[in-house]
């Protein structure tokens, strides 16, 4: 029913005059300035506008893998100590490891085209319990992705500054985390586009550094190889084959930070442009090739240029300074290389802000974490997850004081725990499908090799670095796993109680002999019932509204909001599909009311915030039905606990406050669960 009078008609005296909306408060104006205006859900091409092509996905997700070349090869080379002659073999094995793991994850993308990464793979193939272990490890992993990327960025950016300036390093790193949090609240594509130039600058400067660095030292390559051979013979005589193998595996494993960003692409498929599988595989190829070249190339350059650690400088900074002493590119190239490296590390922190909230959202939809983490903001970002990632990574940064070597150890353990579970899950999948897949041996081979690599790195890292921060990661991950099980148990118990409480309501008996009701009369008293899906809670609210006011209401209007969350927003057409589902659920309520002899109608809306959209629908309904009284249901626990407010939304009370402020009558009807408090 339109609110606009026909031409020539005066104002309708039966309808209340709605005052113009209040101007936004200062906080709302500041948020709009920083985050941007709401997305228009009526725009059918909105997903196309937000999704990423392969190149942009390479920037936003692949940067995590590529940036690990800033600290992974350095840690591996340092671990070799006086046995730098092993760096050549280590560079070859490092490149091979990148390619094997990347190819294995390309196969994951083929079999799981909707994303989800390690959490979804482990859940589907190893079971829910394995899934929550993998998901919890991923959550800690992405927090530390942000932390280590920002800490390493600080190291790179301060490498060409005097030591007294380093007192400001931790402060600058903290500011960068806050900056990225705000940037991601605006949206993934906006944040990636903003940071693309620094990604390109990194590629150019490091291609020059590695390519020219190897060419300049090419005449001395024979002498370097000869010295490495002599060093190998000397090491063999002192350490033996066993000792050299242990040393090599030690350096290989502690350089595991090099491979840590590879999974980000398979986790972030949901934000990629269709066809997603092809876009994801192309992104993975870009990342694997660039990372293999950069990481192995830097290791080789460390060996050729006799690079050693210097206080206050990264090994990459030492390398580029030696490089410009021979190649006359000047200090500008040094600054450009280190600034681009630091900036790329900032871009790499994007993986934590992009994929961490998505893992949280997937786990929220499965009730392992509070369901509010599945909600999208008006900018269609996982706002709660982004804020949580930002706060926890900032805490980790302050706790470790930005010590990259310490953070990398903590970070690598969870990465390879997830990698190992994913490879194991894929191996199990191929074994189960061997009867109908004649190529299963070829399919499983890459995952077996990847599993061996990942388990080796994981075991050695935990053993060698347990006392240097490894135990913190294990304790933190264990705590997250335990918390997830507690949250899931709570949700399961509430579900069981609701099913028991409302089992009889789902099959309400219709009185016999009732005449079909007519249409709603806007002049009569009408009950407006806010409902979700067709469930016991909605039926309970409706029936108790009638019992509380016997014979008063001459009709009922059911109001429902379809909330766009991480499950719904998967591509073009999802808004229309959600709207159709909401209308189908409302049709069941209308049928129930009409079966009880009451005229009934339904009103629906789609939005990212249930309270905002419900308020709008209710105000519009009150204009149409002047004598309307609103009803909402909420779960009431016999024993109130503080965590219940975190695990369950307070939508009923929030809508009640807003409607009461607008001068509307609203009643919140409780659905009681559990024993009453003593």
CATH at 86: 1.20.1740.10
pLDDT given at position 581: 86
- The DSSP result for 502-528, as a single string, is HTTGGGPPPPTTPPPP----TTS-EEE
Query: Between these two residues, 654 and 233, which has the higher pLDDT value?
Result: 233
| Domain annotation covers residue 8 | no
- Report whether 354 contacts 142 (CB < 8 A): no
Express each pLDDT in 525-544 by its tens digit: 999 999 987 877 888 899 99
148, pLDDT greater than 80: yes
Pairing label, strands 600-607, 526-530: unpaired
| Domain annotation covers residue 33 | no
| Domain annotation covers residue 497 | no
| Domain annotation covers residue 643 | yes
The pair of structure tokens assigned to 329 is: 């590119």
Express each pLDDT in 211-255 by its tens digit: 999 999 988 888 888 888 888 888 888 888 888 898 898 888 888
5, pLDDT greater than 60: no
My answer on whether 250 and 208 are in the same domain is yes
Phi, psi at 464, each rounded to 5°: -80, -35
My answer on whether 371 and 465 are in the same domain is yes
pLDDT given at position 53: 61
CA distance from start to end of the chain:
51
113, pLDDT greater than 50: yes
Express each pLDDT in 46-65 by its tens digit: 434 444 566 777 776 677 77
| Domain annotation covers residue 494 | no
Residue 511 — pLDDT band, cuts 50, 70, 90? low
Please say which residue of 447, 470, 489 terminates a domain. 489
My answer on whether 523 and 456 are in the same domain is no
Long-range contact set of residues 443-452: C-beta below 8 Å, sequence gap at least 24: 443/107, 446/100, 446/103, 446/104, 446/107, 447/104, 447/107, 447/423, 448/423, 449/100, 450/100, 450/101, 450/104, 450/419, 450/423, 451/420, 451/423, 451/424, 451/427
Q: Nearest 10 degrees: CA dihedral of 199, 205, 210, 216?
A: 170
- Report whether 402 contacts 174 (CB < 8 A): no
Lowest mean pLDDT of 22-36, 337-351, 352-366, 657-671, name the range: 22-36
- Tell me the C-alpha to C-alpha distance, in Å, between residue 515 and each of 423, 492, 510, 557, 599: 64, 41, 12, 19, 11
pLDDT given at position 279: 83
User: Which residue in 77, 107, 117 sits closest to 94, CA to CA?
Assistant: 77
199-203, 421-425, 563-567 — which one is most confidently predicted on average?
A: 421-425
My answer on whether 479 and 529 are in the same domain is no
| Domain annotation covers residue 115 | yes
Residue 573's SS3 state is coil
116, pLDDT greater than 90: no
What span, in angstroms and rounded, lies between the C-alpha atoms of 318 and 321? 5
Lowest mean pLDDT of 9-13, 339-343, 501-505, 627-631, name the range: 9-13
My answer on whether 443 and 569 are in the same domain is no
Express each pLDDT in 439-489 by its tens digit: 899 889 999 999 999 999 999 989 888 887 789 989 999 999 999 999 999
| Domain annotation covers residue 500 | no
Structural domain count, the chain: 2
pLDDT given at position 621: 93
Residue 25 — pLDDT band, cuts 50, 70, 90? low
My answer on whether 425 and 527 are in the same domain is no
In this structure, the chain runs to a length of 678
Provide the 10 A C-beta neighbour count for residue 401: 12
pLDDT given at position 186: 65
Q: Is the pTM of this model over 0.85?
A: no
Provide the 10 A C-beta neighbour count for residue 497: 16
My answer on whether 126 and 164 are in the same domain is yes
Express each pLDDT in 182-201 by its tens digit: 877 765 445 566 667 888 88
| Domain annotation covers residue 37 | no
pLDDT given at position 455: 93
**If you search the block for the tokens 């090994």, which residue do you land on?**
315
My answer on whether 219 and 353 are in the same domain is yes
Domain that holds residue 668: 517-673
Q: Share the mean pLDDT of the chain.
A: 81
What span, in angstroms and rounded, lies between the C-alpha atoms of 419 and 413? 10
- Residue 62 is classified by DSSP as I
pLDDT given at position 115: 66
pLDDT given at position 42: 47
My answer on whether 338 and 260 are in the same domain is yes
My answer on whether 469 and 609 are in the same domain is no
My answer on whether 451 and 528 are in the same domain is no
The percentage of residues in the chain with a pLDDT greater than 90, rounded to a whole number, is: 30
What span, in angstroms and rounded, lies between the C-alpha atoms of 279 and 55? 9
41, pLDDT greater than 60: no
296, pLDDT greater than 90: yes
Express each pLDDT in 323-359 by its tens digit: 999 988 888 999 999 888 888 888 788 778 877 887 8
pLDDT given at position 7: 39
pLDDT given at position 671: 82
User: What CATH code is carried by the domain that includes residue 619?
Assistant: 3.40.50.620
Lowest mean pLDDT of 9-18, 303-312, 507-516, name the range: 9-18
Residue 560's SS3 state is strand
Residue 598's SS3 state is coil
pLDDT given at position 77: 92
Provide the 10 A C-beta neighbour count for residue 22: 6
631, pLDDT greater than 80: yes
My answer on whether 484 and 528 are in the same domain is no
């Amino acid at each position: 029913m339109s609110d606009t009078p026909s031409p020539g008609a005066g104002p309708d005296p039966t309808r209340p005059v709605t005052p113009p909306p209040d101007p936004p408060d200062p906080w709302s104006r500041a948020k709009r300035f920083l985050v941007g205006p709401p997305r228009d859900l009526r725009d059918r091409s909105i997903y196309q506008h937000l999704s990423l092509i392969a190149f942009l996905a390479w920037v936003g997700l692949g940067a995590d893998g590529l940036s690990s070349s800033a600290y992974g090869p350095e840690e591996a080379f340092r671990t070799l100590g006086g046995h730098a002659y092993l760096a050549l073999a280590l560079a070859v094995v490092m490149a091979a490891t990148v390619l094997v793991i990347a190819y294995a994850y390309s196969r994951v993308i083929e079999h799981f085209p909707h994303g989800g990464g390690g959490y979804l793979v482990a859940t589907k193939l190893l079971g829910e319990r394995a899934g929550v272990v993998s998901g919890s490890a991923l959550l800690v992993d992405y927090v530390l992705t942000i932390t280590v990327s920002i800490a390493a960025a600080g190291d790179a950016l301060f490498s060409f500054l005097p030591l007294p300036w380093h007192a400001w390093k931790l402060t600058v790193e903290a500011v960068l985390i806050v900056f990225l949090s705000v940037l991601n609240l605006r949206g993934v594509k906006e944040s990636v586009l903003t940071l693309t130039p620094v990604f390109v600058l990194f590629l150019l400067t490091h291609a020059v550094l590695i390519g020219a660095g190897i060419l300049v030292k090419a005449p001395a390559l024979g002498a370097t190889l000869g010295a490495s051979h002599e060093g190998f013979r000397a090491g063999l005589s002192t350490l033996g084959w066993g000792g050299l193998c242990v040393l090599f595996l030690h350096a290989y494993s502690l350089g595991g930070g090099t491979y840590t960003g590879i999974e980000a692409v398979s986790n972030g498929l949901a934000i990629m442009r269709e066809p997603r599988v092809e876009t994801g595989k192309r992104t993975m190829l870009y990342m694997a090739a660039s990372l293999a070249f950069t990481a192995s190339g830097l290791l080789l350059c460390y060996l050729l240029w006799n690079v050693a650690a210097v206080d206050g400088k990264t090994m990459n900074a030492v390398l580029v300074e030696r490089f410009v002493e021979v190649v006359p590119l000047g200090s500008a190239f040094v600054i450009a290389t280190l600034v681009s490296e630091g900036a790329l590390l900032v871009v790499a922190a994007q993986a934590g802000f992009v994929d961490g909230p998505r893992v949280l959202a997937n786990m929220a939809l499965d009730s392992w974490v509070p369901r509010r983490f599945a909600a999208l903001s008006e900018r269609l970002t996982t706002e709660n997850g982004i804020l949580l990632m930002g706060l926890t990574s900032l805490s980790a940064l302050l706790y470790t004081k930005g010590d990259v070597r310490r953070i990398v150890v903590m970070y690598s353990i969870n990465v390879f725990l997830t990698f190992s579970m994913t490879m194991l899950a894929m191996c199990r999948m191929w074994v189960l499908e061997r009867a109908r897949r004649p190529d299963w041996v070829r399919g499983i081979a890459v995952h077996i090799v990847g599993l061996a690599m990942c388990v080796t790195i994981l075991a050695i890292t935990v053993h060698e670095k347990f006392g240097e921060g490894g135990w913190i990661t294990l304790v933190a991950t264990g705590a997250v796993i335990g918390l997830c099980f507690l949250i899931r148990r709570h949700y399961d118990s509430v579900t069981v109680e609701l099913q028991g409480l409302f089992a009889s309501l789902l099959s309400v008996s219709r009185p016999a002999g009732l005449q079909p009701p007519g249409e709603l009369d806007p002049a009569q008293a009408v009950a407006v019932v806010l409902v979700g899906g067709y469930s016991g809670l909605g039926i309970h609210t409706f029936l108790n509204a009638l019992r509380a006011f016997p014979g008063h209401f001459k009709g009922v209007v059911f109001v429902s909001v379809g909330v766009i969350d991480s499950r719904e927003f998967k591509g073009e057409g999802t808004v229309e599909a959600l709207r159709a589902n909401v209308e189908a659920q409302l049709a069941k309520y209308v049928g129930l009311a009409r079966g009880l002899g009451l005229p009934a109608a339904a009103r629906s809306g789609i939005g990212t915030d249930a309270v905002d959209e419900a308020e709008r629908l209710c105000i519009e309904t009150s204009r149409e039905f002047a004598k309307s009284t609103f009803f909402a249901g909420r779960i009431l626990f016999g024993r109130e606990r503080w965590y219940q407010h975190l695990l369950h939304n307070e939508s009923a009370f929030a809508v009640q406050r807003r409607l009461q402020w607008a001068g509307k009558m609203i009643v919140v009807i409780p659905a009681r669960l559990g024993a009453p408090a003593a």
